[in-house]
Amino acid sequence: MSAAGPFSQKPRPDPPAPDDGVVDGLVGPLLRHAEVQAELLIARLRLVVVAMLVAMIATSLSLFQTRPVGHVPLLASITVVVGFTLTSTASLSLIRRGRYRPQLGWVFALLDVVVAVAALAEGGLRNGLAGNDLFLLASAWAGPLVLAFNALRYRPVIVASAAVLYVAGALAVALALGVSVLTPLPTVDHPQFADLPANLVRLSLIVLLGLCLTLVVYRGRGLLLRALKEERERAILTRFLPGEVADELTRPNSHLREGISIECTVVFVDLRGSTALAERLSPAATADFLSRYRERIARVAGAHGGLIEKFVGDGAFIVFGAPSPKADDSTRAVACAKQLLATIAEWNAERAPAPPLAIVVALHTGRCFCGVVGAESRLEFTVVGDTVNVAARLEQLAKRLNRTLIASQVTLRQAGEDLSDGRWVRLGSRPLRGHEAPVEVYVHEGNADP
């Protein structure tokens, strides 16, 4: 449950709208890259259409001997082939030279609309059709194709504008060719299919298609921006926070900013005799030693699902259960503690004949307050509470008793450890400074000295 307290901060504001000013500063480069990739895809699709039309033209030419020339949509297809080829060549050239800008999407969208309207006009003029009969032309399908092209862009305004311009262009062509309310075509059994009301329905369907595609692109752009912003936010957070915490913090219902109270198992690790060791090493050797030491601690903690809250010198503070508790936190914590001792023992064997190392590991389980604190430029995940204090006192007790592994009874019972096999030795209830009630304590058989 949420708990206000040392972590209380103002809640984060809702994410900005997809097209506000934050886009340029936060995810502008990523969005521009996506738009360039979309334009590259559109250019390639145009070339696919060109290849299909060229194949269709070749097939149509082979049918000239058996079909009238008027039945071959040759010139309209050539118009589309030439227009799409030039547009694709221009966009591909700009992209390959690194000079493409997302604003050029408007130019290429307009050129596509011009090509589609020009093909429609050419077909109507060549076949001597009235404006009512334009829908009979195969080139009439170039309009929806152009709208589909623009739907691949991440700019809904371009899609809506392309739909409006195409409908306006088609109406202009129809008016130029002549429109009547009812066109009795002698070669058509049902002339009502080509009258003005029917054609208005067709135009309305194109408008609705443009509207639907606009909404699809608007929604897709919003999802893209949200995903890019969340990924950017996570990248920023992981500069300061563990990956698990960054993932939790970016979730919509996360309470880490305000602080949460959860049950954790806390593990303290400390290297004995580190001061004397540092005195024998040069600064460079000390840095190298600590790096290798911490790498081993982090590897073991990560393998058991522990979260390293912080390293302080040669000490490590590991938490099991934060930011998301699990039923086996105590079990994994105890296994981690034992593996830490085994890992240091193996490292001692590798370092021989150098003086052996010895660590002390202390565990305790209880409720903790955890959360993210600090300014945006320097966030920090921290875990505090009486449980942390008890674990720290247990570590000090283990040092005084010259023991390697010490744990509270509550931790061992939750972990399912067998306390009757002699491996864990009961020390009884021990008073700990800063903690009201005595704590039932056990130590693992063995000395701190290897």
Q: Give the pLDDT confidence of 224-249 residue by residue, as tens digits.
A: 777 767 666 666 555 555 666 666 66
Average pLDDT over every residue of 357-380: 82
pLDDT digits (tens, 9 = 90+) for 397-410: 999 999 999 999 99
Query: Domain 255-444: what homologous superfamily?
Result: Nucleotide cyclase, GGDEF domain (3.30.70.1230)
User: How many Cβ atoms are within 10 Å of 215's Cβ, its own excluded?
Assistant: 13
User: How many Cβ atoms are within 10 Å of 450's Cβ, its own excluded?
Assistant: 15
Please tell me the predicted confidence (pLDDT) of residue 14. Answer: 42
Average pLDDT over every residue of 128-140: 76
Residue 43 Cα distances to 46, 87, 90, 96, angstroms: 5, 8, 9, 12
Average pLDDT over every residue of 262-272: 92
Average pLDDT over every residue of 333-340: 96
Average pLDDT over every residue of 1-29: 45
Please tell me the predicted confidence (pLDDT) of residue 275. Answer: 73
Phi, psi (5° rounding) for residue 415?
Answer: -80, -10
The C-alpha atoms of residue 392 and residue 182 are separated, in whole angstroms, by 92
The C-alpha atoms of residue 310 and residue 315 are separated, in whole angstroms, by 9
Q: Best-predicted range by mean pLDDT among 30-34, 116-120, 199-203?
A: 116-120
The C-alpha atoms of residue 384 and residue 367 are separated, in whole angstroms, by 9
Coil, helix or strand at residue 381 = strand
The conformational region for residue 321 under phi > 0 = left, psi -120 to 50 = alpha, else beta, is: left
Measure CA 177 to chain center.
Answer: 52
In the chain, where the domains are located: 22-236, 255-444
Mean pLDDT is lowest, of 65-79, 121-135, 426-440, for 65-79
**In contact, 311 and 255? CB cutoff 8 Å:** no
Long-range pairs for 223-232 at CB < 8 Å and ≥24 separation? 224/31, 224/34, 224/154, 225/18, 225/23, 225/27, 225/31, 226/15, 226/18, 228/26, 228/27, 228/30, 228/31, 229/15, 229/22, 229/26, 229/27, 231/30, 232/26, 232/27, 232/30
Burial of 299 (C-beta count, 10 Å sphere; 0-12/13-18/19+): exposed
Q: Which amino acid is at 253?
A: N
Please tell me the predicted confidence (pLDDT) of residue 109. Answer: 87
Please tell me the predicted confidence (pLDDT) of residue 39. Answer: 85
Please tell me the predicted confidence (pLDDT) of residue 285. Answer: 87
Average pLDDT over every residue of 370-387: 76
Please tell me the predicted confidence (pLDDT) of residue 10. Answer: 44
- Confidence band (pLDDT; 50, 70, 90) for 210? low
Please tell me the predicted confidence (pLDDT) of residue 59. Answer: 73
The C-alpha atoms of residue 45 and residue 22 are separated, in whole angstroms, by 32
For residues 258 and 233, which has the higher predicted lDDT (pLDDT)?
258
Residue 438 Cα distances to 52, 267, 311, 407, 433, angstroms: 84, 19, 28, 13, 10
Sequence-ordered list of residues with C-beta below 8 angstroms from that of 202, at least 6 positions apart, any chain: 135
Measure CA 449 to chain center.
Answer: 48
For residues 23 and 167, which has the higher predicted lDDT (pLDDT)?
167
pLDDT at residue 21 is higher than 50? no
pLDDT at residue 315 is higher than 80? yes
Query: 309: part of which helix (H) or strand (E)?
Result: strand 307-312
Average pLDDT over every residue of 120-148: 79
Average pLDDT over every residue of 323-336: 92
The C-alpha atoms of residue 104 and residue 42 are separated, in whole angstroms, by 13
Mean pLDDT is lowest, of 179-188, 339-348, 365-374, 417-426, for 179-188
Residue 94 Cα distances to 39, 60, 367, angstroms: 10, 34, 60
pLDDT at residue 70 is higher than 60? no
Please tell me the predicted confidence (pLDDT) of residue 366. Answer: 94
Please tell me the predicted confidence (pLDDT) of residue 409. Answer: 95
- Confidence band (pLDDT; 50, 70, 90) for 35? confident
